[in-house]
Chains A and B, each alone.
Chain A
């Protein structure tokens, strides 16, 4: 007979609701008629990042991990930004 440890879980189902709501919001914003394309893009990206953070922090448990693991998780991101931003300067300037 296994002992069943008492475990307190993060609010997984609430996060799911949040993700669904944010997705719905994205769909609404994407097809708005009278807003500038730039504003729509910025809002959509922010919504996507918010969703991604919810998954990373709660489902991948980064909210509860020690700093070393968080550092490991975000380490590749600056490199990604450097590559894209640097090459964009070829086309933007």
Chain B
């Protein structure tokens, strides 16, 4: 169990959540993010049950090996994030800076690989609207090797992973800001709220991906 020293506020307030404002605020905000992804992921689940014939088998269209590696990268970035937090809890400024930079790099790599994956999919003919006419995948479909129409597959895939990627990108940008502040020595063992709060967001984004990877790529 890790304990940080307590920062006394100058004026007493009524007992609230028992955690400082920024942490409470981030947990509250994450509640709204859960609902946002519920709308997208829930719609995916419903559409898949309604029209199962529009989905290919795992790995037939999507590139599972690359995404599995990418998943591993994102998990690694969660470790580096929590190591950054653990470092500053002990007052280790060097560790904080190192692990934050690693988190940024790995996070950006994740986005980069996703963009590469998207470009490959589009190149082969997998669009948000379904097959691109005359593409390689469309020909496989015409030959009966893939479902005749995959409009819903494309719609849900690109929307869910696209908005997840958007959230990762926003996370990387905020992480850069936190890293910059770390380099300016703004975090201490007694006050490192910003590190904990960006950490919560980052782990949440990782958590969403853990769900997405399973239900989008493997099922």
Contacts and interface: CB of A to CB of B under 8 A. Distances in A.
A27 B189 CA distance: 40
A40 B207 CA distance: 21
Given A27-B68, A91-B50, A12 B42 contact: no
B96 to A, nearest CB: 12
B45 A27 contact: no
Nearest to A19: B75
B207 A52 contact: yes
A52 B210 contact: yes
Contacts of B204: 60
Contacts of B35: 76, 79-80
A52 B4 CA distance: 26
Nearest to A30: B218
B42 A72 contact: no
Contacts of A55: 78, 203, 206-207, 210
Contacts of A19: 75
B143 interface: no
A51 B72 CA distance: 12
Interface in A36-65: 40-41, 44-45, 47-48, 51-52, 55-56, 58-60, 64-65
Contact of B91 (A5, A68, A77): A5
Interface string B124-152: 00000000000000000000000000000
Contacts of A73: 27, 30-31
Interface string B67-95: 01001100110110111001001111000
A4 B18 contact: no
B76 A16 contact: yes
B46 interface: yes
Given A20-B75, A73-B27, A76-B34, A9 B86 contact: yes
A7 B86 contact: yes
Contacts of B206: 55, 59
Contact of A16 (B75, B90, B210): B75
B45 A23 contact: no
Contacts of B64: 27, 30
Contact of A2 (B18, B42, B188): B188
A68 B18 contact: yes
B7 to A, nearest CB: 13
Nearest to B59: A31
B68 A23 contact: yes
B19 interface: yes
A8 interface: yes
B21 to A, nearest CB: 13
A68 B71 CA distance: 31
B186 to A, nearest CB: 13
Given A60-B204, A68-B18, A69-B27, A5 B38 contact: no
